Amino acid sequence: MSEAKLGGRFTFPGTSLTVNRVGYGAMQLAGPGVFGPPRDRDAAVAVLREAVAAGVDHIDTSDFYGPHVTNQIIREALHPYPPELTIVTKISARRGAKGEWIPAFSREELTQAVHDNLRNLGLDALDVVNLRSMHGTEEPAEGSIEAPLAVLADLQRQGLVRHIGVSNVTPAQVAEARGIADIVCVQNRYNLAFRHDDALIDQLAAEGIAYVPWFPLGGFSPLQSSTLSAVASGVGATPMQVALAWLLHRSPNILLIPGTSSLAHLRENLAAAELELSPETLAELDGIAAAAEPERHG
C-alpha cells in the first residue's frame, strides 16, 4: 500500500511532524488486560515491521502498557527508527502487581514516566507526550489539569519532550491546557455511536489541532451494530473498516490509531483508508448515533 493512500497527510500544528492519517496503536501488543508479555512476541514484532513497511509513520504507545512491554517491543522491532516515524506516548498512570491501573500524577511520578518512556523506547527526547486527565475513567470529567500539565511543560523546556497533547479531556480542559502549553493533539473516546465530541472536533479542526479517537467500535448497542453491519455488507467491507473510513471522512484533523496483534487485521485496518463512502452511505452512518435513543429512553 502506498503512503499516499493511508488517509492523506496531517501536520501537527507548530511542528515539523507530518504523518499519514492512518497510524497504529500499540496497546494490544501487550498481554491480556494490557498486562505482561504477549503470547507471541515474534508476531508482535512482525506486525510493527509490516505496519511501518506499509507506510505507517505514527505509532501510539505508553510505558504503562505492559508495563514497559510495548515500548520494548517497539524498540526491538524498529530501532534505529526511520527519521519520518513519529512516536506518541502518554503518561499519568502506573501498574500494580496484578495489573491494576493506578493514577500517577505527582511531579515525581510524571517525571519518572517520561524517563521510563525514553529508556524503553531508546530515545533522547519524546516526539509527543499526551497527559491523560485524572478526572473520569472512560469518559472525561471536569477538573483542573493545570498542576500535572505544568510538570509536563517543564519537562518540555528541559528538552525531554518535544510536543504536548492531552487525553480523556473535556472542552474546558482543552482550553485550560492551551493556556499552559501549545497543544498539538487531543485523544478522546469517539466513534460512530459515541459522538459527544462533535463540537470539539470541529473547533480543533479550525485550529489545525489533531483529534485522535480511541475505541472506534466500543459501546455500540445491538441496533447500532446491526445498522453498521448492514452498511458494511452493502459496500463490501468489514464493520471495522467502515467505522474507520467514516472517521477519516468525518474531519480532516482526525488521525486513526487502530491497534491489533494480527497481521491480517492490520492489513484490513490499513485498507480502510481506501474505502470510499458515498454521501448517502455517510448520511446513513451519521444516523447510527441516534439509532439507540428510543432504546435508551423507551
Q: Reply yes or no on whether the pLDDT at 115 is more than 70.
A: yes
Q: Reply yes or no on whether the pLDDT at 294 is more than 80.
A: no
Q: Using 50, 70 and 90 to split pLDDT, how confident is the model at 15?
A: very high
pLDDT value at position 221? Answer: 87
What is the rounded average pLDDT of the residues 83-90? 97
Q: Reply yes or no on whether the pLDDT at 296 is more than 50.
A: no
The answer to whether 247 and 273 have CB atoms below 8 angstroms apart is no
pLDDT value at position 182? Answer: 98
Establish if 280 belongs to a structural domain.
no
Chain segment 123-182, per-residue pLDDT in tens: 999 999 999 997 766 688 899 999 999 999 999 999 999 999 999 999 999 999 999 999
24 has catalytic annotation: no
pLDDT value at position 241? Answer: 96
What is the rounded average pLDDT of the residues 89-94? 96
pLDDT value at position 95? Answer: 95
CATH number of residue 68's parent domain:
3.20.20.100
Establish if 234 belongs to a structural domain.
no
Report the number of distinct structural domains present in the chain: 1
pTM of the model: 0.95
pLDDT value at position 292? Answer: 53
Chain segment 206-255, per-residue pLDDT in tens: 999 999 999 887 878 888 899 999 999 999 999 999 999 999 999 999 99
Q: Reply yes or no on whether the pLDDT at 93 is more than 50.
A: yes
Range of the domain at 28: 3-218+252-259
Establish if 34 belongs to a structural domain.
yes
Residue type at 262 in one-letter notation: S
225 grid coordinates: 451494530
Establish if 13 belongs to a structural domain.
yes
What is the rounded average pLDDT of the residues 89-99? 95
Q: Using 50, 70 and 90 to split pLDDT, how confident is the model at 5?
A: confident
Establish if 245 belongs to a structural domain.
no
51 vs 290 pLDDT, higher one: 51
pLDDT value at position 219? Answer: 79
Establish if 291 belongs to a structural domain.
no
pLDDT value at position 277? Answer: 94
Establish if 298 belongs to a structural domain.
no
Establish if 66 belongs to a structural domain.
yes
* % residues pLDDT > 70 (the chain): 95
Catalytic residue among 24, 65, 190, 211: 65
Chain segment 167-195, per-residue pLDDT in tens: 999 999 999 999 999 999 999 999 999 99
